[in-house]
Amino acid sequence: MSASIKPLVAGNWKMNGLRASLGEIAAVGGDFGPTLSARVDVMICPPAPLLYTAAVASVGTPVTIGAQDCHVAASGAHTGDISPEMLRDAGASAVIVGHSERRADHGESDEDVRAKAQAAWRAGLVAIICLGESEGERKAGTTLDVIARQLSGSVPDGATAANTVIAYEPIWAIGTGLTPTASDVAEVHAALRKDLESRFGVEGAAMRLLYGGSVKPGNAAELMAIANVNGALVGGASLKAQDFLGILAAYGDD
Ligand SMILES: O=C(CO)COP(=O)(O)O
């Protein structure tokens, strides 16, 4: 079933990158030819100060630009925050919400994440909704319960394959070099698919489910071949075009 879903590989730069890093986007765009772009969509999510220039740098390439977080309001007295409308205006077409680093650093709850996803849709952005279990939850055998609870709490009614992407990122695999086994990833993604189908029907069947957590050129082909894995959310290995292109190569060569 997932064979008909066009995968997405998105790079989350997190709090990394200065203007000098924008050459990496041009390098990805320049090397990403028509054969590969027919098979996989590619996105880079730089930090907010780089969004506009990144969007300009991506013009004429297959690379699209996403943001890493948003406020729920369109505007107002929220010093330091950025609305989804502003992200859209700067050239973003998507925004990551509910990344585990925001859940941990900023105390974001499932309810917060759900409201951010709705705000993203209001502004015409795709919401990339993140979830994933901690190491303790994995060891305690509660992964599937945690994932089901996060999915139900963080994904708003009205989610479609066009407005929502789900990213499964086990917290213990982020930035550690550790990855779950292929069968563990398959188990979680199958459970996500089942829940999404029962809640959203055909839209849930067509929604992209990304895997994230220590995706590298060396393990991308194996991870991307797992059933119900429709692409990747990549942190550290998205910062350099060569590494990121090495991951995209899991989908073939131009
Ligand atoms: O958190 C991630 C992407 O959002 C994954 O980060 P790493 O690829 O650096 O493990």
Report pLDDT for 240. Answer: 97
Pocket residues: Cβ below 6 A from ligand 1: 12, 99, 169, 174-175, 212-215, 233-237
Report pLDDT for 1. Answer: 41
DSSP 139-163: HTT-HHHHHHHHHHHHSPTT--TTT
pLDDT by residue (tens digit) across 30-49?
888 888 899 999 999 999 99
**What's the CA gap between 56 and 177, in Å, rounded?**
33
- The reply to whether 14 sits in an annotated binding site is yes
Which tokens go with 72?
Answer: 């729920």
Residue 71 falls inside a structural domain = no
Residue 113 falls inside a structural domain = yes
Number of domains composing the chain: 1
pLDDT > 90: percent of the chain: 94
**What's the CA gap between 113 and 100, in Å, rounded?**
11
Least confident of 59-63, 79-83, 117-121, 213-217: 59-63
pLDDT by residue (tens digit) across 135-191?
999 999 999 999 999 999 999 999 999 999 999 999 999 999 999 999 999 999 999
Q: Which single residue is written with the structure tokens 């200065």? A: 18
Q: Which residues pair with 67 in a beta bridge?
A: 95
Catalytic-residue membership of 108: no
Residue 72 falls inside a structural domain = no
Q: What's the pLDDT band for 2 if we cut at 50, 70, 90?
A: very low
Torsion of the alpha carbons at 51, 52, 57 and 59, rounded to the nearest 10: 110
Cβ neighbour number for residue 156 with a 10 Å cutoff: 19
Catalytic residue among 24, 71, 85, 99: 99
Report pLDDT for 173. Answer: 98
Residue 192 falls inside a structural domain = yes
The mean predicted confidence, pLDDT, of the chain is 96
Residue 59 falls inside a structural domain = yes
pTM of the predicted structure, to 2 decimals? 0.97
Nearest CA to ligand 1 atom 8: 235
Average of per-residue pLDDT across 202-223: 98
Catalytic-residue membership of 169: yes
pLDDT > 70: percent of the chain: 98
Average of per-residue pLDDT across 187-213: 98
Report pLDDT for 12. Answer: 98
Nearest CA to ligand 1 atom 6: 235
- Asked if this assembly's ipTM is beyond 0.95, the reply is yes
Residue 41 falls inside a structural domain = yes
* Region for 134 from its dihedrals, namely left if φ exceeds 0, alpha if ψ lies in -120 to 50, beta otherwise: beta
Is residue 110 pLDDT above 90, yes or no? yes
The single-letter DSSP state of residue 239 is: S
Q: Which residues pair with 96 in a beta bridge?
A: 128
Indicate which CATH number applies to the domain containing 58. 3.20.20.70
- Buried-exposed string 107-137: b where 16+ CB fall within 10 A, e elsewhere: ebebebbbbbbbbbbebebbbbbbbbbbeeb
Report pLDDT for 254. Answer: 64
Residue 73 falls inside a structural domain = no
- What's the domain range around 201? 2-66+80-251
